[in-house]
Structure 1
Amino acid sequence: MYGAQHLHEFGGLPAVDFQHTDDPAARPAAGAVAWRVSVDPYGDEGRDRPWAEEFADFLDAVDVAEVRALIIGQWGEAYEEDSSVPVNLVIDAADRLTSLEAVFVGDLESEQAEITWIQQSDVTALLAAFPALTELGARGGTGLVFPPVKHERLRALTVQAGGLPVQVVRGVLDSELPALERLDLWLGVSAYEGDTEVADLAPLLSGTRFPRLHHLGLRNSEVANEIAAALASAPVVARLRTLDLSNGTLGDEGAAALLEGQPLTHLELLDLHHHFLTQAMEQRVRSALEPDGVCVDLSQRNEPWGGRGVEGRYTAVSE
């Protein structure tokens, strides 16, 4: 497994860890970076402080009225403490974070907590507290709550999971997000609560949801072939610029369904990296799309474990 890694950028800004310093001038401008606030519960004495204290220091040390992007990193022992504490602290500071446009909850690497161990909470509370938010992301599906919401300005939504519960997917798809342009869902595997089936994606695939959507990611899925087959005739595809089916179990059967379905030559990017296509199918996909200017990412070709065919395929991020 490749595992989840720290964000290098978020909200169109480079990600930078908030650090204590005696020289405030050494810090970047408050609005020039995405600030990651984290603690290390296993660190040396004096460093294993509560996230609330670290965030309080951040609020005092940085010109937070100018902060545009905030990343909630490790907030403690994330497999025992859910994200409601940092989420609520950020909400409590809404009157100070007046320029905030992007929030990511749970930027933990595998060494800190496996993605399926991360205990999440109701991240939609951030949307209610920040009506100007344009991007929201979360990592970890365990305990994640996403009831249907209405938000006028959200343009990008990412939910990364080793297993994404269908209740979360339904909440997202039942939400009123008229400005949404980018949607990335890591569906994961059934062994870790990833119980979303293709039928549950029907409102999204029909093209009746999210009228401004131009990027769709249905990633890290053990049912990637079934999703590809559904996308072959899905109305939403015609208005996409980018389609991302990466990190899943896609094989020749799914790729063939895509090629034999509706035209894909209008796409700018078809991202299929981490896949199980044969070399012959890779060449078929390239020959069908690249002459028309479609960028096709077919990196990270994998072989099934033990040569066991379909049942030996695996997603890139699980545990």
Structure 2
Amino acid sequence: MTINEHLRELAGRPVVEFQHGRAGKPGGEVAWRIAASFDGPVFEEVLRAFLDEVATAGVTHLVVGYWGASYDTHGAVDPVGLLVEAAGRLPGLRALFLGDIVMEEAEISWIEHADVSRLFDAFPHLEHLEVRGSNGLRLRPVRSRVLRTLRFESGGLPAAVVRAVGDSDLPALEHLDLWLGTDEYGGDTTEADLAGILGGERLPALRHLGLEDAEIADAVAGALAGAPIVARLESLSLAMGALTDDGAAALLSGQPLAHLRRLDLHHHYLTDAGMNRLRIALPGVSVNLDEQESPDDEYRYVAVSE
């Protein structure tokens, strides 16, 4: 997935942009996208038009794009609050992408959020949630018996959000991605903050874990080496981060990884020797080692930060 272009698909549904006066398609067939623009109607007006013109009782997939910001002419907007207010008009919502905002609209570190926990109470059938951006992002521990996919994309994910995920009751969750980012952009997570996730007690169905875009990728790898959750995963990702030979060695020195189908490490700082060690140690695993950065670089950067 790239943050340089708008979504074309969400959870198996093609994305269709809502256009005032030209809705055109039944709600159940597509993932509708609603967004404000710099020189157009504000987000609240777009959402109101969407609710009036689309048969929203049948809408199951929704993509929320640009909603304005405190630093532009639209001013501060709380899209979650507006969605919660409209929940009665969206009774079948199952998949939501919050923040389909590309760099030309706002850098990922500028995207302003509030408390996204409210979505789980308002939309009890939500199976798929993705959130881009983390400026002001808050999450309290939540309960959902149906959520299967949870993704947070950020250049710096607050440790409080990571801990809240680990403290949440999510027995159906199969796919979890967290872009941990860098401390410079609010990513203050340490390996200790991952304990609730890595222990796995509240995530019995998890099959994919991504702890990605991490400046602390070596420490994360070391924590994964003895993490109970790893034994039941089918795929694991430390992609987009600053992983070095030290992190790879720590990962391999822990519990066996041969049961994995995929290990995604693309965008890394491994040496050629470190890459070969991984390939030899995991012959039956599909290991993605694309985008090798120079191991000798003094400054090691993650793929997505600002």
TM bucket (normalised to shorter chain) is over 0.9
In 1, are the aligned partners of 2:124 and 2:144 still within 8 Å (CA)? Answer: yes
1:301 aligns to what? Answer: 292
**Runs of 5+ unmatched residues, structure 1:** none
**Runs of 5+ unmatched residues, structure 2:** none
1:7 aligns to what? Answer: 7
The yes-or-no answer on 1:50 pairing with 2:37 is no
The CA distance in 2 between the partners of 1:284 and 1:79, in whole Å, is 49
In 2, are the aligned partners of 1:79 and 1:117 still within 8 Å (CA)? Answer: no
In 1, are the aligned partners of 2:21 and 2:53 still within 8 Å (CA)? Answer: no
Give the partner amino acid of 2:280: S
1:67 aligns to what? Answer: 59
Residue 286 of structure 1: how far off its partner (Å): 2.1
The CA distance in 2 between the partners of 1:21 and 1:280, in whole Å, is 59
The CA distance in 2 between the partners of 1:184 and 1:197, in whole Å, is 16
The yes-or-no answer on 1:315 pairing with 2:302 is yes
TM-score, normalising length from structure 2? Answer: 0.93
User: Please, what is the CA RMSD of the aligned residues?
Assistant: 1.9
The CA distance in 1 between the partners of 2:246 and 2:125, in whole Å, is 43
Residue 19 of structure 1: how far off its partner (Å): 2.4
Cα 1:259–1:82 change in 2 (3 A) is farther
TM-score, normalising length from structure 1? Answer: 0.89
The yes-or-no answer on 1:278 pairing with 2:277 is no
Structural mapping, 1:51-130, within 5 Å: 51-77=43-69, 81-82=75-76, 84=78, 86-130=79-123
Give the partner amino acid of 1:33: V
Identity across the alignment (%)? 50
In 1, are the aligned partners of 2:156 and 2:188 still within 8 Å (CA)? Answer: yes
In 2, are the aligned partners of 1:139 and 1:161 still within 8 Å (CA)? Answer: yes
Which of structure 1's runs of 4+ aligned residues deviate more than 6 A? none
In 2, are the aligned partners of 1:18 and 1:36 still within 8 Å (CA)? Answer: yes
Residue 108 of structure 1: how far off its partner (Å): 0.7
Pairing partner for 2:194 from 201, 205, 219 = 201
In 1, are the aligned partners of 2:213 and 2:239 still within 8 Å (CA)? Answer: yes
The CA distance in 2 between the partners of 1:266 and 1:127, in whole Å, is 33
The CA distance in 1 between the partners of 2:94 and 2:153, in whole Å, is 19
DSSP-derived class of the 1:95 partner: helix
The yes-or-no answer on 1:36 pairing with 2:38 is no
In 2, are the aligned partners of 1:4 and 1:317 still within 8 Å (CA)? Answer: no
Cα 1:308–1:110 change in 2 (3 A) is same
In 1, are the aligned partners of 2:128 and 2:150 still within 8 Å (CA)? Answer: yes
Deviation string, structure 1 residues 182-203 (Cα, Å, up to 9, x no partner): 1111111011111110011112
Provide the aligned length of Structure 1 versus Structure 2: 303
DSSP-derived class of the 1:116 partner: helix
